[in-house]
Structure 1
Amino acid sequence: MFMNKKVFLGIAAFIVIIAVAFAARYLYQLKKYKDMVSNIQLSGINLSTLENGVYTGSYNAVMIAVDVAVTVNNHKIESIELIKHEHERGAPAEAVIDRVVESQSLNVDTVSGATNSSRVILKAIDNALNSEG
């Protein structure tokens, strides 16, 4: 009986240690994610300097990751293809893409309820248009 209790307590302690480790890892990732999203700075875009072509960009904010392909034609954003959008509940943020194409600018309103995903999508577009393509 005493041995069974000892084994049970050992297993319970092991489970608690594993749970605490997973919780600590999650909290660390959550803090890193929040910091990354809150520190997003958009460089802005100068379409007059961009040649025709497809420009790719990405941004990974731990819990949200985005890859885009931006097609520029005659110094205008013709289309933006969302290649990858890893998120939990940020699918509505994908509407921000239409806002960027319509306004030809990154200075658009984010999608309410999906602000963080909106910001990550905008940063991926910013990275695409401010890189070699």
Structure 2
Amino acid sequence: MKKRYIAIIIVLLVLALGFITTKILLTRFEGNLKQLALSEISDVDLAAAEDGIYIGSYSAFPVSAEVRVTIKNHFIVDIELLKHDNGQGQGAEIIPENVIEAQSLKADSVSGATYSSKVILKAIQNAILKAGG
């Protein structure tokens, strides 16, 4: 009988620990995503950007992206999405094409993939800033 009570107490402690851990992770997710939603994407100065290939990344846990941006003659000629960890934001993977077409970070977010859209744009922005843009 005593072993049964100990087993029940252990199970309850494990469940409580699991609940607390889940609550902490969800609070962290929500905070990161709220901060991301409020963050502004400022356009870059391509006229100041030097030719080259630049890596940029950005993470707002649980969403992250890494890109390789190629700049030639003050134009974005290629953006390769090297890494994109997302939940339901796979649709945002069109963002690099939109940025190249617009030659601007003022590309529209993809509906249903707003967080991933912003993370990819921030990664592109960080790469171009390395170029001096």
TM-score by length of 1: 0.90
Name whichever of 96-105 and 3-12 sits farther off.
3-12
Equivalent residue, structure 2, for 1:75: 74
2:87 counterpart SS class? coil
Cα deviation, residue 132, structure 1: 4.8
Distance 2:74 2:53 in 1: 12
* AA aligned opposite 2:17: I
* AA aligned opposite 1:26: L
Distance 2:16 2:83 in 1: 35
* AA aligned opposite 1:28: T
1:100 counterpart SS class? helix
Distance 1:21 1:66 in 2: 29
Unmatched runs of 5 consecutive residues or more in structure 2 = none
Equivalent residue, structure 1, for 2:56: 57
Alignment of 1:1-133 (within 5 A): 1=1, 3-132=2-131
Distance 2:104 2:35 in 1: 22
Cα deviation, residue 16, structure 1: 1.9
Distance 1:37 1:24 in 2: 20
Once the two structures are superposed, residues 56-76 of structure 1 have per-residue CA deviations (whole angstroms, 9 ceiling, x without a partner) of 111110111111110001110
Distance 2:18 2:96 in 1: 39
Could you list the structure 1 runs, at least 4 aligned residues long, displaced by more than 6 angstroms after superposition: none
Distance 2:54 2:16 in 1: 46
Distance 2:77 2:95 in 1: 15
Q: Taking structure 1 as reference, are residues 33 and 94 closer, same or farther at Cα in structure 2, changes over 3 Å only?
A: same
Distance 1:43 1:11 in 2: 52
Distance 1:65 1:34 in 2: 11
